[in-house]
Chains A and B, each alone.
Chain A
Amino acid sequence: MYSQGLTDAKGQQEPAELLAAFQAKIDREEKIEPRDWMPDAYRKTLIRQMSQHAHSEIVGQLPEGNWITRAPTLNRKMILLAKVQDEAGHGLYIYSATETLGVTRDQLTDELLSGKAKYSSIFNYPTPSWADMGAIGWLVDGAAIMNQVPLCRASYGPYARSMVRICKEESFHQRQGYEIMTVLARGSKAQKDMAQRALNRTWWPALMMFGPSDKDSTHSAQSMKWKIKRFSNDELRQKFIDATVPQAEHLGLTIPDPELKLNPETGHYDHGPIDWDEFIQVLKGNGPCNKERLQARIDAHDKGAWVREAANVYQQKQQKREVA
């Protein structure tokens, strides 16, 4: 049986009856809730995946935050500000959902800032032009939606519920990104060039967001059985490409893949090879912005330390006063 061989935090075998009941519940599409029994490996997998997701939202504020003060119109400025604020809100929901698994946000933050925890590799790329705001919304949020919509049915209740609201907001984000690209693509030659360059920069890293190819994916099989994952990395990547190619054509922009073409037999677009070495390098910390993204988070945390301490001390003083 697939759940056999699982061990708990102390290396002991998980009790077979509990495991069987747990898996049966998942198979019946019932949600696992925080107070329910769950195997230690399930808990650990969720903590890893959910905290990576939360960290990605938080670090993901930075590449777009880069353009808030330079957005070209008042409306664009407000939309971008609201969008980046949404990302912070998503981070908050998911950290809170992760806390139901018995970790604290402080622990998770320490893991991010110490470099121990990962976040989505896409945020380690720079956003040198305004068009990157369009490309990120369109492609990065588009890829995120492909990944996240199935998570609304994830077996862990708090995660699934947080994803429902997040997906609604991401869908707005994707549309606003595509709308930025539409205006640029129909604008002056300089604007169209700006849009094309942003597409060139973002396309391959966006494809990498779906994770390694199925044959190299280490966590997939178990996650599928636990219904934390519903589709394989390659399936989702293909779905994203099939949806995105016609959108690029509609914009009159060229996807930077000379091998990309519709396969009449499968009905899907075939694509050129993904540079997995680049992906691995970025994951290892050697992407163009890894150091500055993490440093920005470390700086915000360090500079905010006295504020957090002040808030705590004030609260304690208030409580003492109430008691007295």
Chain B
Amino acid sequence: MTGQFNNPALHSYLLRLADTSLTMGQRLAEWCGHGPYLEEDVALTNVSLDLIGHANIFYQLAAELHEHPITADDLAFLRDAHEYRNPIITELPKGDFAYTTLKQYFIDVFNVHLYQALSTSSYEPLALAAKKALMEVKYHRKRSEAWVERLSLSTEEAKTRSQKALFDLWFYTPELFETDAAMDELFVQGVIADYTEIKTIWHQQVEAHLQHCQLTLPESGWVATGGLQGEHSEHLGYMLAEMQFLQRAYPGCEW
């Protein structure tokens, strides 16, 4: 499919992909220099680097569809919180290592299935980007899946922390699979993935792994929603204030 220049739905979807990867990568980057040991410091930073790289590609694709000349950096650094379209889970604070790990695992499994589906997108630039990202997120998943198990089936403390992380995070996951009218239209056009299918397989695989790890799902909680419409938690504003500081304080400069 070509001639997507006037496709605001695709532009907005690419921003959802980019914002999700960037906020996730930005949070993970906070571990750099502070990891539980050196090997993990390097690993966490590696995943962060991959995610920011994916964001960069999706922002570039989005920028190409823009009516006015605009750059990937403009999209990342000059939009306010209400214009960000990531699900709330990716903007949550990094928390402890169990919380970071479980959050990463949820996103990694989601990303594997998302990019697998997007790699057959009728919009070729998106299909190519998804293929590249897929190779990397498969490794991310392998790593976080192993860590969820390692933490849950080891010491009492690690298990307690993992269980708490699950209670705190579980009801942020339904938002990953939310779609809006524009996304439904893109799905009909063969541009994006079937989120219902991704949701089904995600639940099968994640719930089986959590059961294997002897973790219990919470029964009720606040079910997060709103990111797709620009309704976010309090955390995103602080993240953007920090991330966008230089571009905001010294507008129009080269860096």
A residues adjacent to B (C-beta < 8 A): 58, 61-62, 65, 68-78, 81-82, 84-85, 88-89, 91-92, 95, 130, 183, 187-188, 190-191, 296, 299-300, 303-311, 313-314, 317
A residues less than 8 Å from B123 (CB atoms) = none
B56 touches A75 (CB 8 A): yes
A-B contact count (CB 8 A): 135
User: Is B52 in contact with chain A by the CB < 8 A criterion?
Assistant: yes
User: Is B157 in contact with chain A by the CB < 8 A criterion?
Assistant: yes
User: Is B158 in contact with chain A by the CB < 8 A criterion?
Assistant: yes
Cα separation A276 to B107 with both chains bound (whole Å): 52
A73-B255, A74-B59 in contact; A188/B33 too (CB < 8 A)?
no
B residues adjacent to A (C-beta < 8 A): 22, 26, 29-30, 32-42, 45-46, 48-49, 52-53, 55-56, 59, 72-73, 76-77, 96-97, 149-151, 153-155, 157-158, 161, 242-243, 245-247, 250, 253-255
CB distance from B17 to the nearest CB of A (A): 14
A68-B32, A82-B49, A308-B36 in contact; A183/B59 too (CB < 8 A)?
no
A residues less than 8 Å from B40 (CB atoms) = 304, 307
A residues less than 8 Å from B96 (CB atoms) = 303
CB distance from A223 to the nearest CB of B (A): 27
Cα separation A76 to B29 with both chains bound (whole Å): 13
B243 touches A311 (CB 8 A): no
A70 touches B32 (CB 8 A): no
Interface of A is mostly: helix
Cβ-defined partner of B34 (8 Å) among A78, A296, A310: A296
Could you show 13 A-B contacts with beta carbons less than 8 Å apart?
A69-B26, A69-B242, A72-B77, A72-B247, A73-B255, A78-B49, A81-B45, A84-B32, A88-B33, A95-B38, A307-B158, A308-B37, A311-B154
Cα separation A188 to B38 with both chains bound (whole Å): 39
B38 touches A85 (CB 8 A): no
A residues less than 8 Å from B253 (CB atoms) = 72, 187-188, 190-191
Cβ-defined partner of B150 (8 Å) among A91, A130, A314: A314
Cα separation A116 to B52 with both chains bound (whole Å): 38
Give the residue among A58, A62, A72, A76 with the most B Cβ atoms within 10 A. A72
A309 touches B155 (CB 8 A): yes
Cα separation A81 to B52 with both chains bound (whole Å): 10
A residues less than 8 Å from B56 (CB atoms) = 74-75, 78
B155 touches A61 (CB 8 A): no
Give the residue among B26, B53, B77, B150 with the most A Cβ atoms within 10 A. B150
Cβ-defined partner of B38 (8 Å) among A58, A74, A183: A58
Residue of A nearest to B56 (CB): A74
Interface of B is mostly: helix
A residues less than 8 Å from B72 (CB atoms) = 74
Cβ-defined partner of B246 (8 Å) among A130, A303, A307, A313: A130
A residues less than 8 Å from B247 (CB atoms) = 72-73
A85 touches B154 (CB 8 A): no
A306 touches B158 (CB 8 A): yes
A313 touches B52 (CB 8 A): no
A74-B76, A78-B52 in contact; A304/B37 too (CB < 8 A)?
yes
A77 touches B52 (CB 8 A): yes
B residues less than 8 Å from A130 (CB atoms) = 246, 255
A69 touches B36 (CB 8 A): no
Cα separation A77 to B157 with both chains bound (whole Å): 35
A61 touches B33 (CB 8 A): yes
A residues less than 8 Å from B34 (CB atoms) = 65, 296, 299-300, 303
B residues less than 8 Å from A88 (CB atoms) = 33, 38, 41-42, 45
Cα separation A313 to B149 with both chains bound (whole Å): 12
A81 touches B49 (CB 8 A): yes
Cα separation A61 to B41 with both chains bound (whole Å): 11
Cα separation A136 to B10 with both chains bound (whole Å): 41
